[in-house]
Amino acid sequence: MTRINIFSLLLIGMIVISSCKSDPKNTDEKQQFVISDSLLKTIQIDSVVKCPLINALTLTGKVSFNEDKVARIFPMVSGNITDVSSQLGDHVNAGQRLGIIRSGEMAGYGNDLITSKTNLLIAKKNMDASEDMYKSGLLSEKDFITAQEMYKQAQSQLNRSNEVIQINGGNTQGEFVVKSPISGFIVEKQINNNMAIRSDNTNDLFTISDLKDVWVIANVYESNISQVHLGDAVDVTTLSYPGRVFHGKVNKILNVLDPTNKVMKVRIVLPNPDYALKPEMFASVMVVNQTNKEALCIPARSLIFENSQYYVLVYKSQSSIKITPVQIIGTNGNKSYVSGNLQVGDQIIGSDAVLIYTALNS
């Protein structure tokens, strides 16, 4: 028992001695984060600057063809259409033939033209004969005047027949040639070969649009109407070209609300020289409205969001990085307007901010 007690006392003494040698401060102290030289070469350091505050509102919309540069071709006569070779999406030139309608109406117009020419020829001969007889005293003045009037009526009828033929394409063989009145793309087509058509049909045969510039129709909700003005600059993006921004302006505001979805429509005209924008494309429209105010602005990539709060990392040195909360005033593209404990000229970490933020909190 005596030996066991002695051994126990020695063991307790060793534990006490070892515990006295350890420094609790060293075990509890968190090691300070320091950006290494190699990491410092790869990260981007941005500066806080003051710039004009620009309000940006994002709207949904779609691309539409320019109604001011659209030609809708309706059937002028009834008949059967043939020789339709152009298809939806094809580019056609002004005057290009799109189809031929074999029509009884056109045959009738041609027959009327022939009849008018014949009647004019007869009236001319009667008038010449009446003139000779009137000069010889064999015909009264009244009959001579009547012959002259018959000639004038025949001439007027011929002019009318010619005009009708020209209005309907100028063909006298019973065919109506459907031609494109403008150069552009076929954006709608509702006709095929051998279809029977009627002149009282309200549907157009073809719709031709010049897509060198297009319309973007955007929806403005009732709560945002006050933020959209005529002439506001807009940036338009599409799903097809996510990295490409199309610039334009609001050139018309339709000052009525759609009764179904309670939105107001605005129109933007965009140049489309390479035909990249196509009707019915979905579009995201950012309306940019510059104010007379200034605010601190930073690159949007510098922001860190956690627990419903935005932060930035203020860089002083490799061993001095401060996590600073900020409030977002607005965002315009890759630029964010902020308020908070920041000063113009402060340096903030712009790349790998989330990784550094995590290391600082670990």
pLDDT tens, residue by residue, 174-203: 888 899 999 999 988 988 898 988 888 778
Q: DSSP strand E in the chain: where?
A: 45-47, 49-65, 70-73, 79-82, 91-92, 97-102, 175-179, 184-189, 196-197, 206-209, 213-221, 233-238, 246-257, 263-271, 282-299, 304-306, 309-317, 320-332, 335-340, 347-349
Reported CATH class of domain 58-67+212-292:
mainly beta
Task: Quote the Cα angle for 46-48-52, to 5°.
Answer: 125
362 or 71, greater pLDDT: 71
**Crossing angle, helix 104-135 and helix 141-167, to 10 degrees?**
160
- Residue 31 has a pLDDT of 62
Q: Rounded to an integer, what distance in angstroms lies between the CA atom of residue 19 and that of residue 14?
A: 9
Instruction: For the sheet with 206-209, list strands across it.
Output: 70-73, 206-209, 184-189, 91-92
Task: Quote the Cα angle for 233-235-237, to 5°.
Answer: 160
- Would you place residue 107 in the very low, low, confident or very high pLDDT band (cuts 50, 70, 90)? confident
Amino acid at 238: T
- Residue 139 has a pLDDT of 86
CATH number of 37-53+294-361: 2.40.420.20
- Residue 227 has a pLDDT of 83
Query: 75-208: what fold?
Result: OB fold (Dihydrolipoamide Acetyltransferase, E2P) (2.40.50)
Q: Which of 249, 241, 325 is nearest to 285 (CA)?
A: 249
- Residue 201 has a pLDDT of 78
Domain 58-67+212-292 shares a fold with domain 75-208: no
- The residue-averaged pLDDT of 99-119 equals 89
Q: Rounded to an integer, what distance in angstroms lies between the CA atom of residue 49 and that of residue 329?
A: 14
User: Worst-scoring range by mean pLDDT, 53-57, 219-223, 356-360?
Assistant: 53-57
Q: Rounded to an integer, what distance in angstroms lies between the CA atom of residue 98 and that of residue 182?
A: 12
The average confidence (pLDDT) of the chain is 85
pLDDT in tens, 341-350: 999 999 999 8
How many angstroms separate the Cα of 79 from the Cα of each of 64, 119, 281, 297? 32, 29, 36, 68
The answer, yes or no, to whether residue 122 has pLDDT greater than 90, is yes
Task: Quote the Cα angle for 206-207-209, to 5°.
Answer: 145
The answer, yes or no, to whether residue 59 has pLDDT greater than 60, is yes
- Residue 35 has a pLDDT of 84
- Residue 126 has a pLDDT of 92
Q: Where are the domains of the chain?
A: 37-53+294-361, 58-67+212-292, 75-208
- Residue 136 has a pLDDT of 87
- Would you place residue 22 in the very low, low, confident or very high pLDDT band (cuts 50, 70, 90)? very low
Two tokens at 119? Answer: 């009647």
Percent with pLDDT over 90 in the chain: 36
Q: Rounded to an integer, what distance in angstroms lies between the CA atom of residue 285 and that of residue 62?
A: 9
